[in-house]
Chains A and B, each alone.
Chain A
């Protein structure tokens, strides 16, 4: 199929065409309603995602083998940004496709062709089972186990911090399949159906008053042999690739969200000249993230970036997000602490969520270790 958005100005034409379509259909696309629950937001995000998929916009940048229309992955980032700018998505729900799908498509083309289209189109959710109670920053310590029972695996163990597990149909699960000495070998990635017998999901009420994360329990869950993503005992490489996608693809979308929140604060918070310096400083933190993710997007699309360098993006993201919501809290004169209207509740939730930005997806300390050890080359110094 010929790619209508090929060439040097393809992204710009794609953006313009998409904007015209969005302008035309804006009124019929769902926005967050007052007091919306997480369930409402997931439903709304998927409905908008399905509209954009059906109109082809979200199909660009995915291969034809999974229902896409091909073209540069940058087209996906452009579509995500356009949707984020109009408030069409609960951004971190929408972004799960960008985290999981590129790796699954590359490492397991057959599985992807058979299963992934509903996930990309908004028909269903997937989730990521990586962390465990005793394997947080030290992910290679994971113990959730899959035993080879001949024609299937049997999974036993526990995962935690699984985003949107209660809304998901499938999980990309990391399990230990071998007892080799090396902790990084002997890990395998499986694609597991959430409705399998023995699979339980328990949402965790988080300090932002939303239950985005869950604990998940596996009590002898059977998984078919053809559900291995990549190689048996080759799961660590899959996990690293997914982390690169997580730090590469999504932050572009988050940078426009932070920038829009900053513009909103600047226009609505009755700021005074004395606030200019703090406002400008936060603006620069967000600009740092945005410029960095822009270079990262272009480098990833050209295949010229290794996973460790994306840790720089994660540190900038956590810094910008926390700087912004600290500024929101201190600028809003007690609203965030004492008001209970919808806007205040929503802002409070985002403020509390931002506290986790330096923990999830690899803590700030782990990211700094990676930058020092693998970017500067200080491992084993």
Chain B
């Protein structure tokens, strides 16, 4: 386990590594900063540090691929995520990869690793977040295929969902801080719009949604329960939706222009929601599990579970 001082040092070095325009460079810097070693030593804390920073900075070093690979017990690999019928995506930090983990769907059946015959020959998907640059595949590319044991898939999927939840929560928190600072500066009717109760309540509801997702993510990271991981990802998706709706409303017209940062954050959150199960699909699966008696006795988290170390979210915008 890392102590708190080491965690602070790691966070700073991961943040510096992730501060690159090009995701390939960010990935390489992140690996140099010790990400894979940290993942091997204390995965809950390493994942919390890296994915919170990815969310905060709006940068993606394909650390998610490493989380899945570690749980599946395979070497570094780019993961092809199913996102809609006939479309798989690979995170752009892995665009030069030579090995691909092909995930046909989220059931964990017929997982394979493909050692590619040539380069990873794929085009960026346009979609809602062209700047994100994820690569698209219609079918498994050619190469030498090895079957992966699916026994560890549910644990890998849960770990991936927790990692994404960290990233989504941190992204929503950034948006909330921007909107809060904007509401304090933007004046209408001779007063900052933050003085209007209708605006305050939208921002407060966003705090609540983010705090709920934050706590659920910590619970899932602490307990490593598959159910808690699904709940964390669905609540993170819900928090991103709430933040997207309320913060745009606070930004008003300026947020609707491409000159403002709102849309970049919002687009990323929509893409992240689709990775490893979207908010609504997870709710449906959780409901089905409850209805069919698969979750009898499930209480998500116990008082005796000691939360992993994590700095509480700060709710004041920087400089305010």
Contact = CB atoms under 8 A, between A and B. Distances in A.
Contacts of A375: 204, 207, 315
Contact of A256 (B201, B212, B299): B299
A289 B299 CA distance: 12
B180 A287 contact: no
A263 B295 CA distance: 8
A229 to B, nearest CB: 29
B215 interface: yes
Nearest to A365: B201
B208 A315 contact: yes
Given A280-B283, A378-B203, A74 B303 contact: yes
Interface residues of B, number: 54
A316 B284 CA distance: 21
Contact of B212 (A267, A283, A292, A372): A292
Nearest to A378: B194
A280 B290 contact: yes
B234 A263 contact: no
Contact of B303 (A78, A266, A292, A304): A78
Interface in A260-311: 262-263, 266-267, 271-273, 275-281, 283-284, 287-292, 294-295, 297-299, 304
A252 interface: yes
Given A284-B286, A378-B200, A292 B315 contact: no
Given A294-B307, A378-B194, A381-B192, A283 B290 contact: yes
Contacts of A11: 303-304
B85 interface: no
Interface string B293-320: 1011011111111110000100110001
Interface in B167-211: 180, 183-184, 192, 194-195, 197, 200-201, 203-205, 207-208, 211
Given A295-B215, A375-B315, 20 more contacts: A78-B304, A276-B284, A276-B287, A280-B282, A287-B235, A289-B212, A291-B212, A291-B215, A291-B219, A291-B231, A294-B215, A294-B307, A367-B204, A369-B200, A372-B204, A378-B183, A378-B200, A381-B183, A381-B184, A381-B195
A10 to B, nearest CB: 8
Interface in B67-90: none
Contact of B291 (A279, A312, A369): A279
Interface of B: 180, 183-184, 192, 194-195, 197, 200-201, 203-205, 207-208, 211-213, 215-216, 218-219, 228, 231-232, 234-235, 238, 280, 282-288, 290-291, 293, 295-296, 298-307, 312, 315-316, 320
Which secondary structure dominates chain A's binding surface?
helix
A288 B191 CA distance: 35
B306 to A, nearest CB: 7
Nearest to B282: A280
Contacts of A110: none
Contacts of A369: 197, 200-201, 204
A368 interface: yes
Contacts of A288: 212-213, 215-216, 235
B285 to A, nearest CB: 7
Contact of B234 (A9, A279, A280): A280
